[in-house]
Amino acid sequence: MILGLPTAVYTFIHVVLSLAGIGSGFVFVYGLVIGKELNRWTALFLATTTLTSLTGFAYPFHGVTPGIVIGIFSMVVLAVAYLARYTLHLAGSWRWIYVVSAMLALYFNVFVLVVQSFERVPALKALAPTQSEPPFAIVQLAVLALFITLTVRALRRFRPVAIPAI
């Protein structure tokens, strides 16, 4: 049981939140790359990605694991993204800080998806049973290259309309 829910139900909720964060995250990235603010998709991405990290912390704690470290990093970059967007209104250098921090949050979520896929999908586990084999490294490097490319494009194209301070 986790937070009063059977572990399988809790894990299902955690996975749905993670997949919703990844899916809405790619729509969010599309908006950045075409230079448009997709406010609802952005809010959905930030909320579901935050909830993914938060729900990850509720699993039984057996010492610091790579998942916990990534969860902490994710929460830090999400806090920066929220600050840049909703408090500092993307003014000045906060635009690029927002883009980089939000892209890092999505990258961390996709990184964990790849790790979990290689742990749980039998065909992938057979290719890289310890995740130190070349197929795992190649996939993770391809994901990293994709995110670097998308981040550079987003930095070049995303120019938000000035959000008036209230």
pLDDT the model gives residue 162: 59
Q: Give the Cα separation of 148 and 102 in Å (integer).
A: 13
pLDDT the model gives residue 166: 53
Amino acid present at 135: P
As a whole-number percent, the residues of the chain with pLDDT over 90 amount to 85
Q: Give the Cα separation of 1 and 144 in Å (integer).
A: 35
Q: Give the Cα separation of 35 and 48 in Å (integer).
A: 22
CA neighbours closer than 13 Å in the CB half-sphere of residue 122: 0
pLDDT tens readout for residues 51-66:
999 999 998 888 888 8
- The answer to whether residues 2 and 56 touch, using CB atoms and an 8 Å cutoff, is no
